[in-house]
Structure 1
Amino acid sequence: MKDVAVIGYCRTAIAKAKRGALNQTHGIPLAAHVLTHALERAQVDAGEIEDVVLGCGLPEGATGHNVARNAALAAGLGVGVPGVTINRYCGSGITAASMIASRIATGEIQAGIAGGVESISLVQFNMNFNGFFYEPLQLKMPAVWWTMNQTADFVSQKYGITREAQDAYVVGSQQRVEAASLAGKFAEEIVPITTMKSVTDKETKQTRLEEITLERDEGPRPGTTLEGLASLPPVYEGGTTTAGNASQLSDGAAALVMMDADLAAQRGLPILGLFRGMQLSGVAPEEMSIAIAPAIRKLMQRHALTMDAIDLWELHEAYAVTTLYNQAELETPWETTNVNGGAIALGHPYGMSGVRYVGSTLMELGRRGGGKAIVGVCTAGGMATAAYLER
């Protein structure tokens, strides 16, 4: 089996859904933007790309019609470059990376692009719910159709993770995001995008389009305090989940160029690190947040990894309760866990997030001179993906 190198990574800044800069940006140009710039960073010609796999949590409407193939065409990769869109909800991005990596490792291709795209603004609020529920399974397992907010509250109650603990975690995470931003870490990943944004006048209620260039993440809230978080009402009465301790609804895209590591080294290309493998787990749908720990354990067992061998851990901030449960279960050191904050502050475009975690974690490994990292992402339906990265 061949080693698989990541030789290019970039992402858009993450925009707030509905109110943000990308609220009118179709999925095709959004994804095409990062495909183009990832190739530039990788110093690879479009003609060398043999497959494009894009993860997307809601692959319909503006991100439907096989957005991967269409984005590849829009990016100018050429009619000979195929593409496929895959959906594992929040785990879509890591799954996309695993699919490209597997094809390279087995010698089927030498180079490909894995990415993720999400336009919650244009899709989630306009979804087709015709036939969405399947009554026989819904009667047997209603949690399959629960909202993620419901699953977070369920885990919080079952495992005794208090609202106070969640809010305290959020303050720390926001502070880490602010520090990373001030240090220019996110700017290294972001490729600015100029697009048209829909703006509604608060007084007249009239809507207009205005040109905007998105250069930085819109979600972070510097100065977040415990008092401010405590004042927020829970989503569901009696629950602990609030707008402050849940990941934000967001739009964005990211891409990774991946290549046979030996070939990349021979050509002197900019190797960010190696994608060593992915593992999956499944749990009861109502306990979605706890699925990261078993996926990571399986990954570590498969690669014979010990806890002290891991330099960085990235545990998806679907909710504060998600990170708190899995950090405690795995006993990862806080000083190496989510070191630059996470999705609660930055936002969580479903299909994009896993790709962002892979790329940003490899970059952080490089800054620290680290060797190994693990990324875990829970996903709707009671699943999780976990990836092992190395520099």
Structure 2
Amino acid sequence: MRDVAVVAYCRTAIAKARRGALNQTHGIPMAAHVIREVTARAGLDPQVVEDVVLGCGLPEGATGHNIARNAALFSGCGTGVPGLTINRYCGSGLNAASIVANRIANGEMQVGIAGGVESISLVQFNLNLNHFVYEPLQHQFPGVWWTMIQTADYVADRYAIGREAQDAYVVESQKRVAAAISAGKLAQEITPFETVMSVKDKETGEISEKTVLLTEDEGPRPGTTLEGLSSLEPVNARGTVTAGNASQLSDGAAAVVMMDAELAAQKNLTVLGLFRGMQLAAVAPKEMSIAVAPAIQRLMKHHGLAMGDIDLWELHEAFAVTTLFNQAELDTPWEITNVNGGAIALGHPYGMSGIRYLGSTLMELDRRNKHKAIIGVCTAGGMATAAYLERS
């Protein structure tokens, strides 16, 4: 088996769904932008790419019609570069990376792009819900069709993770994101993207368009306080999830170039790190948030890893309760867990997030001169993906 190197990473800044800079940007130019930029960052001719695999949580409409192939074409890769779109909801990006990595490791190809894209603005609010629910399965497993907020409330209640603990976690996460921004860490990931957004005048209701250059994440609220969070009403009656302790609905795209590590060395390319592998886990659909821990435990067992081997942990912030449960279950040290904050502050474009975790975690390993990291991402339906990364 060949070692699989990640030689470049980039992403768009993350924009607020419906109100942000990407609120009318089609998925094709968004994904094509990061494909084009990540190939340039790698220093490669786009036509050497042998496959483009994109994760997308809602692959229809503006992110449908095999967006991976279409974005590859629009990016300038050429007609000879194929594309594959996959969906495992929030785990889609990591699954895309795993597919590319496996093909490289098995010698089927040498260079591939893995990415993720989501336009919640253009897709989520216009979904095709014709025959969406299949009643016999819903009767057996109603949680399959619960909202993610319902699953988070269920986990918070069942495992006694209270509102105050969730809100306190958010305050710390926002602080970590603010510190990462101040240090210039996030700017290193972001490729500026010029687009046209729709703007609604609050007083007249008139809608206009303006050209914008998206260079910074729109979600972070550095002034977040426990008092402010505690004043927010729960989304569901008797629940604990609020707009403040849940990841934000957002738009964005990200990509990595992955290649045979020996080839990368021959070409004297910068290697961010190695993608060592991915594992999955599944639980009852209504307990979606808790699946990260068993996925990570399976991953560590497969690779013969001990807790003390790991230098960085990235536990998905679908909700504050998600991170709190899995951190407690795994007992990861807070000082090396989600060190630059997470999706509650930054936002969570479903298909993009796994790629963002992959790229940003490798960059943080380099800053710290550390070597091993684990990423865990829960996903709709009661599943989770976990990946093991290594920097030599």
Q: Taking structure 2 as the reference length, what is the TM-score of the superposition?
A: 1.00
What SS does the aligned partner of 2:335 have?
helix
Matches within 5 A, 1:56-205: 56-205=56-205
- 2:270 & 2:26 partners in 1: Cα distance? 31
Deviations 1:47-97 (A, max 9, x none): 110000000000000000000000000000000000010000000000000
1:275-290 matched pairs, under 5 angstroms = 275-290=275-290
- Partner letter of residue 65 of structure 1? H
How big is the shift at 1:300? 0.2
Does residue 218 in structure 1 map to residue 218 in structure 2?
A: yes
- Displacement after TM superposition at 1:9 (Å): 0.3
CA distance in 2, matches of 1:203, 1:319: 33
Note the residue ranges of structure 2 that are not aligned, 5 or more in a row: none
Task: Write out the 4+ residue segments of structure 1 that deviate beyond 4 Å after TM superposition.
Answer: none
- In the alignment, does 2:370 pair up with 1:370? yes
Q: Secondary structure in 1 aligned to 2:90?
A: coil
One-letter code aligned to 1:160: A
SS in structure 2 opposite 1:28? helix
For 1:55, the equivalent position in structure 2 comes to 55
Which one-letter code corresponds to 1:112 in the other structure? G
Q: 2:66 and 2:210 mapped to 1: Cα distance?
A: 28
Q: CA deviation at 1:35?
A: 0.1
What is the distance in 2 between the residues matched to 1:379 and 1:311? 24
Report what 1:27 is aligned to: 27
Distance in 2 (alpha carbons) for counterparts of 1:106 and 1:73: 26
Q: Look up the SS of the partner of 1:7 in the other structure.
A: strand
The Cα of 1:109 is off from its aligned counterpart by 0.3
Q: In structure 2, how many angstroms separate the alpha carbons of the residues matched to 1:162 and 1:370?
A: 34
Question: In the alignment, which residue of structure 2 is the partner of 1:270?
Answer: 270
- Taking the aligned partners of 1:300 and 1:268, their CA distance within structure 2 comes to 31
In angstroms, what is the RMSD of aligned CA positions?
Answer: 0.3
**Per-residue deviation, residues 353-380 of structure 1 (Å, max 9, x unmatched):** 0000000000000000010000000000
- Does residue 312 of structure 1 match 2:312? yes
Local SS of the residue matching 1:219: coil
- 1:212 positional shift: 0.3
Q: State the 1:203 CA deviation.
A: 1.0
CA positional deviation for 1:140: 1.1
3-state SS, counterpart of residue 18 of structure 2: coil
Paired with 1:131 and 1:355, the residues of 2 have a C-alpha distance of: 31
**Deviations 1:258-309 (Å, cap 9, x if unpaired)?**
0000110111001000000000000000000000000000000000001001
Q: 2:336 aligns to what?
A: 336
Distance 1:192 1:231 in 2: 35
Counterpart Cα distance in 2 of 1:86 and 1:119: 15
**Partners in 2 of 1:223 and 1:206 — Cα distance?**
31
**Aligned residue for 1:43?**
43
Q: What CA distance in whole angstroms lies between the structure 1 residues aligned with 2:58 and 2:188?
A: 28
User: Any unmatched runs of 5+ in structure 1?
Assistant: none
SS at match of 2:387: strand
Q: Deviations over 1:229-271 (max 9, x none)?
A: 0000000011000000000000000000000001101110010
Q: Distance in 2 between matches of 1:51 and 1:316?
A: 27
Corresponding residue for residue 209 of structure 1: 209
1-structure distance, mates of 2:267, 2:197: 41
Find the aligned partners of 1:46 and 1:254 in 2 and give their Cα distance: 16
Name the % identity. 73
Amino acid at match of 1:27: G
Structure 2 equivalent of residue 13 of structure 1: 13
Q: Residues of 2 paired with 1:174 and 1:140: CA distance?
A: 39
Amino acid at match of 1:159: Y
Q: How far does residue 317 in structure 1 lie from its aligned partner after superposition?
A: 0.1
Q: Residue in 2 aligned with 1:389?
A: 389
